[in-house]
Structure 1
Amino acid sequence: MSTGRLSLLFGLQVECLDVLEQYGRWCEQDDRRLWLGQSTMIETHVALAGIAGRGVRIETGLAVAVAPLFTPTLAWVQARSVAHLMERPVCAGYGIGTMATAQALLGHPLSAPAGYVRDFVSEIGDFRAEEDEGSMGSRVSLGAGVLRPGMARRSATVCDFAVTWLTPLGYLSSTLMDAFDAGAEQAARPRPRVVSIVPAAVRRADHPPIPMAAISCGQHMQLPHYAQMLRGAGVDITGDVPHDLRETVRAGLFLYGSPDEIAARILEYFRSGVDEVVLNVGSVHLLHGLDAALSDAQEIADAVARATGEQDLTENRQQERNRTCSLV
């Protein structure tokens, strides 16, 4: 069975390079991509440069960097720097954060946020076009965060990929995919790769779903643009927090169950046209620590490998790593 790619999100602010390095080492084992959101404790690009200096060599992604924090020139220089230091491709995705954040950073309200992000990414693309073919800079992919059809259409005219967050699968597979297709057709270019951030936790006695959903989804669901998108997608968001959190689990916005049950839902994303699913086990990390989070990620990854017939390949890579270690 052919599937998309399974990656991992560092779903926290970066406060310590030791912890981020452990996520990077986990990704290094099976050539998985490590994604980060916008960190301001230790800025995202600086954090990735820091673990590159410790010898981590992995593909990385930004999902998403807050564009008003940067100029397009600075965003390009930083993304290209990470690619050079990691010696691996970088997926650099951008968004506005929130309207309030954008206004505070820019000093004026944004009348057309989708147009702002499109133009921001387009300008970075102009810098990339000047890179020599085959250089690390030429291997920086550019993307945007997408919630609604307007942003999907505009991003598809300039972006290599689009990142969705907290988008119900039915809404993603129909409304957003149609908008991606329309934008790509308008620009006479391929549809961007679709990358979906999916919060998840393995069902355990000490892993109650509602507190975990609150950590992963609660803050986003209270933002007007997320609530509007979810209601439009048919999710029963009322503003009553306990009810809305239960709804995130019921609607599959927060995946909770056995590793095999979570893997089955991830395969639904792939069958719907999603190219890359990014696991967010940040709620497990915050409640139970690093080891518990990476354990959940590993069990889910193993279940996806079993379901897709890739288990033998995964085991062969592990055996090869063991042989290599025994020779050192």
Structure 2
Amino acid sequence: MRIGLFLNEPTGPDPIKELGDGIAAARDAGFASAWMSHIFGLDALTALAVAGARTPGIELGTAVVPTYPRHPAALAQQAMTANAALGGRLTLGIGLSHQVVIENMFGYSFERPARHMAEYLDILLPATRGEHVHVEGETLKADIRLSTPGAGMPVLIAALAPRMLKLAGSRADGTVLWMTGPRTVTQHVVPAITAAAEEAGRPRPRIVCALPVCVTDDAEAARARADEVFSMYGQLPSYRAMLDKEGVSGPGEVAVVGDEDSVLAQLDELRRAGVTDFVASPYSKSERTLALLGRLL
């Protein structure tokens, strides 16, 4: 199981330099990958292209870029440009986002999300390979061929529901998970995505699992802190469904928390569950957490 690091959203006066320093620190520490979310701050692809270009030797990924606000050909062009800037080190993670974001904030319809993603891939995947795309879908259309350099990056889908996991296994290179515990990975994610990949004759999919991590002697306080920091994820329907599948009440119960031995045991449980890449999101006592993760690199 490869170990990656979730990059903190820069908050200082020079966010690109701050992000670049974070990427360099992750690379120098030995992390296999560094990942950036795309919410309401920096544009993840642009920021990674600029900040990461000067730091070779580490995979950089988006976790994840929302699809609804971007036509797939436009996203393909941007991602290929970023991949060219990064020397082919980009992994493009995409996702539907959430109904409250897409409808209430962007003003788009969130109807038929699985159909939207299927047609999005019909355009995005061949476009990122530099192929001509002609699609007349129910939700998306395109007739275009891009000449952008940087073709051929892996594409992962934030997939939690069964139809999305089937798409991730049969069409994409795997999935990016968040707020998904080991029981749900074992019983829900791995069987669905693996079966879809096998049926489609595709290689074993990547299962990138990101979770909050805190190495501490006070696990109870750390889990309470995780419930506070990540409270909104316990309310969003897609993540709430994964927490319910896990049989837990909130984000703190899927966070990887405890002393060194306990955290190592939890990471091994994720590995045995089928996670191919674990992405750590340290949220408290990060120095001790990073020291332990460094032992695994």
Instruction: Report the TM range for the smaller structure's normalisation.
Output: 0.7 to 0.9
- Counterpart-to-counterpart distance in 2, 1:195 and 1:46: 22
Matched, 1:109 2:122: no
Residue type matched to 2:16 in 1?
A: L
Q: Residue type of the partner of 2:258?
A: G
Please tell me the residue identity of whatever aligns with 2:2.
R
Write the letter of the residue equivalent to 1:52.
G
Q: Are the aligned partners of 1:5 and 1:275 in contact in 2 as well (CA < 8 Å)? A: yes
Gaps of 5+ in 1: 238-243, 285-291, 306-328
| Contact 1:147 1:165 (C-alpha < 8 Å) held by counterparts | no
TM-score (norm 2): 0.83
Amino acid at match of 1:255: V
Q: Distance in 2 between the 1:108 and 1:205 partners?
A: 44
Residues 224/212 of structure 1: CA separation in 2 closer, same or farther (3 Å cut)? same
Deviation sequence 1:141-197 (CA, Å, 0-9, x none) = 101102222211122121112011111211111211111123223423224211000
Q: Partner residue of 1:160?
A: 173
Q: Which runs of 5+ in 2 are unaligned?
A: 132-147
1:302 and 1:42, CA in 2 relative to 1: closer, same or farther beyond 3 A? closer
Percent identity of equivalent pairs: 21
Aligned counterparts, 1:1-80, within 5 A: 4-12=1-9, 16-29=15-28, 30=30, 32-52=32-52, 55-57=54-56, 58-80=58-80
Which structure has more helix as a fraction of its residues?
A: 1
CA deviation profile, 1:53-88 (whole Å, cap 9, x unmatched): 5x2223200111111221111211221222221224
Question: In the alignment, is the contact (CA less than 8 A) between 2:219 and 2:258 conserved in 1?
Answer: no
Alignment of 1:119-138 (within 5 A): 119-130=119-130, 137-138=150-151
The CA deviation at 1:105 is 6.5
Equivalent residues in 2 for 1:165-180, closer than 5 Å: 165-180=178-193
- Aligned residue pairs total 277
1:268 and 2:260 matched: no
1-structure distance, mates of 2:22, 2:266: 23
TM-score, normalised to structure 1, is: 0.76
Partner Cα distance (1:52, 1:213) in 2: 29
Contact 2:168/2:175 (8 A) holds in 1: yes
Query: In 1, Cα distance between the equivalents of 2:232 and 2:120?
Result: 26
CA RMSD of aligned residues (A): 2.6
Q: Does 1:303 align with 2:295?
A: yes
